[in-house]
Structure 1
Amino acid sequence: MSRRLAEPPVRLDRSDPAPLTAQLSGALREAMVSGALRAGERLPSSRALAAQLAVSRTVVTDAYQQLYAEGWLDGRHGSGTFVAEHEPLPGPPGPTEPSRSAEPPRGRPSRQEVRRAGVVDLRAGAPWVRDHDRAAMRRAWRHAAEVPPSDDPEPQGEPRLRALLAEHLRRTRGVRVGPENVLVTRGTGNGLDLVGAMIAMGGTPVRGAAPVARFRAGVEEPGYGKARTILAARGAEIVPCPVDHDGIRPGELTDDLALVYTTPAHQYPLGGRLPLPRRERLLAWARRTGALVVEDDYDAEFRYDVAPLPALYGLDPERVVLLGTLSKTLDPDLGIGWIVAEPDLLQRLTRVRAELSDRTSGPVQAATALLLERGDLDRHLRRMRLEYARRRATLVEHLGTRIAGDTAGLHVLLTLPESAVAPVVAAAAKEGVLVEDTRRASHGAPSVHGLVIGYGSAGGAELRRACEVLARAVERHTGEPAALGTGRGRR
């Protein structure tokens, strides 16, 4: 990799209304996209570039920090600032003549395909993975490589990791459990599948209950589509359970459900958090019917305006199974999650897992344990809470009159009239912004109309441009401004 000092081809225009920092970061980004700046080349120090451009050093450091956050730059302690490795991308399309390369691929493309096409991906479900503590990750994987392989892996997970996860949940979610309450999974989908398999194989949802004669599973409507898919694959009859902007409505649940799947911390996709009175009514329903409540602790780590409510599990451990994951927190590729349940139910789940030859990678468990043990995960969470709060503020600024569910998590709901949904999606696509509506979250025809906007995987500058595109499209197709405080898409 080259270590030569590059001379960035940058010109700043003080008559341009755009801030100097935005001009500088945009010029550097364009130079990296075009190949004028190549991977491995060293950029001037912030002091040197500031002197060269006759601007304050703050302008340069802020531009560099933005490009670090987007993954364009790679800092090496004591060595300087370098252009990071990246695949060449086409430049972002202009608002008047969108280029063909900016159109998303047909069907539902992967995130890699979308990124290669130069499209801003605002689909929900992915975190920011381009700003990890790389030293911490390398240290964790080196440690994992040194752990001798086991000839008899524990289906419940490695004891050390289970103890660390129990402590993590006590500190972050107020759930008081020990390692005997934790089963290490590959994520929430894997955890939900094990619960579904246990019931499908004749297991009882809760202690003392009879095996279910008919496996009916309640899933929030609208709700997480993969939950419906996973449970249906285990033979469950899916029963849509109505929700509103506060979450699931316990009074409308039928009495013949074996389980109900819910996201009380940040309902997907409407974004509500289940109030305490409804939590109590949901648990009272579960006690009366003998059903199991499967609590997906979705987005509980990231809260902005309000403190998190206690996990449902802590209110009634006998009736609730708690699912969690590090996929949305740290890295989807890590493949680590957990089931928290009372020991009796957990042992039944563990036996089912052993029968299915299902397991979580030993090296991945070892690496995760070190990240927890050294506090690397906690530091990452603190850093990302600040970063996601900034991105959330960008969404509120540009689209705040129509946003719901912005108090937590990595997505919001942009509410729209039904007639405006398809035109806004199409208009955004023409300008290189990929968004999805609520159809994917709905069991049938959507009862709530709008766009589910994820802001975890888009960089700050990408997100601002996408919000401006969406604000224009919303105003054009609804006749009303989306931005707070003005009649334009920005202020």
Structure 2
Amino acid sequence: MDLPPLPIDRRLPRSLAGQLADGLRAAAIAGVLRPGDRLPSTRSLSAQLELSRTVCAAAYDQLLAEGWLATRRGSGTFVVGVPAPGAVIPSASRPVPASLPGPRTPRPVLSLRAGVPCLAVLDRGMWRRAWRDAADAPVERASDPEGLPPFRAAVVEHLLRHRGLPCDPELVLATAGSTATLAEIGAVLPAGVPVAVENPGYAGGASALRSAGRELVGVPVDADGIVVDAIPEGVSAVMVTPAHQYPLGARLSAARRVELVDRARRDGLLIVEDDYDGELRYDVAPLPLLAALGPDVVVHLGTVSKMLTPGLGCGWLVAPPAVRAELVRRRAATGTRPSAAGQRVVTALAAHGDLARHLRRLRRELARRRAEVVAVVRGTGRLAMGDAAGAHVVVEVEDERAVIAAAAARGVELDGLARHYLGPPERQGLVVGYAGPTPDELSAALRVLAHVL
């Protein structure tokens, strides 16, 4: 590749090899050189810069030792872009050339954030077959605001088999996913009346409700889930994640489920049950859905984002008839429609039995990964909190910002608890997701996590 300008000043006390290494390092930090870029050979570089080949080789050796470059036998020298963990990066003895931005911290290349699907277990043959079946379907003349009937029938079967919820297809609506649906629900709630949410809770859901003009009231969460007694009077709805509270990972106890449904009936509340990863449990069978206990007061939300991919833009809701009808009316008025393509793909996966097989593979893989994460965290003398479910755990720390920054400097992205609170955070910790990376990437990221913990 053509290199950016690399000024070399023979009058400076710093060695020529050091100046060349500084220039290449600054170009990688600035993004002018990107991971995967192949550098010229030392022979070619020495000719371009009118330096000795020994100087160029010494500069490459320095950057190889720091982790900025890597060699591939028979192919050449390539930019990695992030120094190896623990590498010491010497500061340059001269300013970065004016043509390049100033140094910045390299962006993490491995992520341990939650909310990312595990694509490593997705069978590509299954995936291609589903898309072929979706493409064979007739093209719709108009989109259906309720969702395609075959998709809604597939959802009914899925909920019965995997979540123990019998329901009528006429109560099901296709959606574009849970977060988008929360904005739809927020728009049909009584104007000017606050909505209660878990605190800490799902930040994306809170943002969606705010976008619909809802004022939010935080309700504390403990080891048994949302504290029902702390839900204030005068709210129109309460949003909960009972199967696997996000982000703390608790399961709403049976007693509190009954208490919450009774409270909703008594006070005229609507319960919004976000079942974002309810299919992913590894220890015991899930507790009954709130929608099974109180179908008259519960809107149940499901999504394929965590078990397949958010790229399908596909989910569902089961709602009391009046709420469902109001949502359909609003969709008709605003032109809001869920993705027909995503619905057809999910329908095909369910029809072939591929969705159920994929869920079995996914549960096995995530259970293995969770065990790996828990073992690493325990090895640092800390506790990985949360039920044996889903795709994340929480690790309490004393200073989450410092730990997140230390991991980022070593190329690993972490998420903290603080951003999930309404108002000042009451505890500090890391929300560690383990679904997104490949197995090798997860092991590498966990080594960094153990180091910074």
User: Fold-level match, TM-score > 0.5?
Assistant: yes
Distance 1:195 1:344, change over 3 A: same
Query: Which of 124, 127, 131 does residue 137 from structure 1 map onto?
Result: 127
Structure 1: which amino acid aligns with 2:391?
L
Is the alpha carbon distance of 1:308 and 1:285 closer, same or farther for their aligned partners in structure 2, counting shifts above 3 Å?
same
SS at match of 2:395: strand
Answer yes or no: is the 8 Å Cα contact 1:437–1:451 preserved in 2.
yes
User: Deviations 1:272-300 (Å, cap 9, x if unpaired)?
Assistant: 00000011111111111101000000221
CA contact (8 A) 2:177 2:305 kept: yes
Deviations 1:295-336, CA, capped at 9 Å, x for gaps: 000221111223211111000100100001001110110111
> Could you tell me which residue of structure 2 aligns to residue 217 of structure 1?
195
- Structure 2 equivalent of residue 308 of structure 1: 286
Cα distance in 1 for residues equivalent to 2:340 and 2:367: 34
Give 2:151's aligned residue. Answer: 161
Cα separation, 2, equivalents of 1:99 and 1:374: 54
Q: Tell me if structure 1 keeps the 8 A contact 2:383–2:396.
A: yes
User: Structure 1 CA distance, aligned partners of 2:247 and 2:239?
Assistant: 14
Say if 1:156 and 1:350, in contact at 8 Å, map to a contact too: yes
Give the secondary-structure state (helix, strand or coil) at the position aligned to 1:254.
coil
2:297–2:320 CA contact under 8 A, matched in 1: no
What is the match of residue 477 of structure 1? Answer: none
Q: CA deviation at 1:92?
A: 6.8
**Corresponding position of 1:344:** 322
**Structure 1 residue 453 corresponds to structure 2 residue 432:** yes
Cross-structure match for 1:326? 304
Gaps of 5+ in 2: 1-34, 39-77, 91-105
Structure 1 or 2, whichever has the larger Rg, is: 2
Which residue of structure 1 aligns with residue 167 of structure 2? 177
What is the aligned partner in structure 1 of residue 223 from structure 2? 245
2:338 corresponds in structure 1 to 360
2:372 partner letter: T
- Select 1:411's aligned residue among 388, 392, 395: 392
Over 3 Å counting, the alpha-carbon distance change for 1:365 and 1:444 in structure 2 is same
> What's the CA shift for 1:89?
7.5
In structure 1, what is the equivalent of residue 350 of structure 2? Answer: 372
Task: Encode CA deviations 1:125-147: one digit per residue, 9 max, x unaligned.
Answer: 11122442112221221222222
Between the aligned partners of 1:304 and 1:247, the Cα distance in structure 2 is 19
Task: Find the aligned partners of 1:456 and 1:179 in 2 and give their Cα distance.
Answer: 32
**5+ unaligned residues in a row in structure 1: which ranges?**
1-31, 36-87, 101-115, 200-211, 475-491
Amino acid at match of 2:417: T
Q: Which residue of 2 aligns with 1:73?
A: none
Structure 1 residues 98 and 339: alpha-carbon distance in aligned structure 2, compared to 1, 3 A threshold = farther
Query: Is it true that 1:257 corresponds to 2:238 in the alignment?
Result: no
Identity %: 44
**Partner secondary structure for residue 130 of structure 2:** helix
CA contact (8 A) 1:91 1:118 kept: no
The alpha carbon displacement at 1:388 in A equals 0.8
Offset, 1:468: 2.2
Which one-letter code corresponds to 2:113 in the other structure? R
Residue 364 (structure 2) aligned to one of 366, 377, 386: 386
Counterpart CA distance in 1 for 2:207 and 2:81 is 37
Do 2:377 and 2:384's aligned partners in 1 also have CA atoms closer than 8 Å?
yes
- The CA distance in 2 between the partners of 1:350 and 1:249, in whole Å, is 32
- 1:231 corresponds to which letter in structure 2? L
Q: TM-score, normalised by structure 2?
A: 0.76
Deviations 1:406-425 (A, max 9, x none): 411111111112xx322221
Counterpart secondary structure, 1:240: strand
Distance 1:337 1:98, change over 3 A: farther
Q: Equivalent residue of 1:241, what SS?
A: strand
Specify the code of the residue in structure 2 equivalent to 1:322: H
Cα 1:154–1:148 shift into 2, 3 Å: same
Q: 1:213 to 1:355 in 2, by over 3 A?
A: closer
Tell me how far 1:155 sits from its aligned partner.
0.9
Amino acid at match of 2:180: N
Alignment coverage as a number of residue pairs: 362
1:466 aligns to what? 445
Whether the 8 Å contact between 2:197 and 2:218 is mirrored in structure 1 is yes
Pairwise CA RMSD? 2.1
Change in Cα spacing, 1:424 to 1:118, as seen in structure 2 (3 Å) is closer
Q: 1:96 to 1:360 in 2, by over 3 A?
A: same
Work out whether residues 222 and 243 of structure 1, in 8 Å CA contact, stay in contact via their aligned partners in 2.
yes
Match runs of 1:196-211 below 5 Å:
196-199=186-189
User: Which whole-Å deviations, capped at 9, do the CAs of 1:12-56 have from their partners, x for residues lacking one?
Assistant: xxxxxxxxxxxxxxxxxxxx9799xxxxxxxxxxxxxxxxxxxxx
Who is 2:67 aligned against? none
> SS state of the match for residue 312, structure 2?
coil
Q: Tell me if the contact between 2:393 and 2:431 (Cα under 8 Å) persists in the aligned partners.
A: yes
Counterpart secondary structure, 2:248? coil
Counterpart code for 1:468: R
Instruction: Check 1:376–1:225 CA distance in 2 against 1; reply closer, same or farther (3 A cut).
Output: same
- Deviation per residue, 1:356-412 (Å, 9 max, x gap): 211112222222211111111111111111111111011111103321014111111
User: Does the aligned pair in 2 maintain the 1:90–1:118 contact within 8 Å?
Assistant: no
2:436 aligned partner, one-letter code: S
Tell me, in whole angstroms, the C-alpha distance in 2 between the residues paired with 1:376 and 1:456. 20
Q: How does 1:33-44 map to 2 (within 5 A)?
A: none
Matched, 1:195 2:185: yes
Partner of 1:112: none
Superimposed CA distance per residue, residues 436-479 of structure 1 (whole angstroms, 9 cap, x where no aligned partner): 111221111111210111111012222222222222222xxxxx
Give the secondary structure class of the aligned counterpart of 1:333: helix
Q: Secondary structure at the match of 1:349?
A: helix
Q: CA deviation at 1:342?
A: 2.7
SS at match of 1:412: strand
Structure 1 residues 282 and 450: alpha-carbon distance in aligned structure 2, compared to 1, 3 A threshold? same
SS of equivalent residue, structure 2 residue 257? helix
1:170–1:176 Cα contact (<8 Å) kept: yes
Aligned 8 A contact 1:402 1:416 in 2: no
Which residue pairs with 2:266 in the alignment? 288
Structure 2 counterpart SS, 1:177: coil
SS in 2 for 1:304: coil
Alignment partner of 1:317: what SS? Answer: coil
Partner of 2:26: none
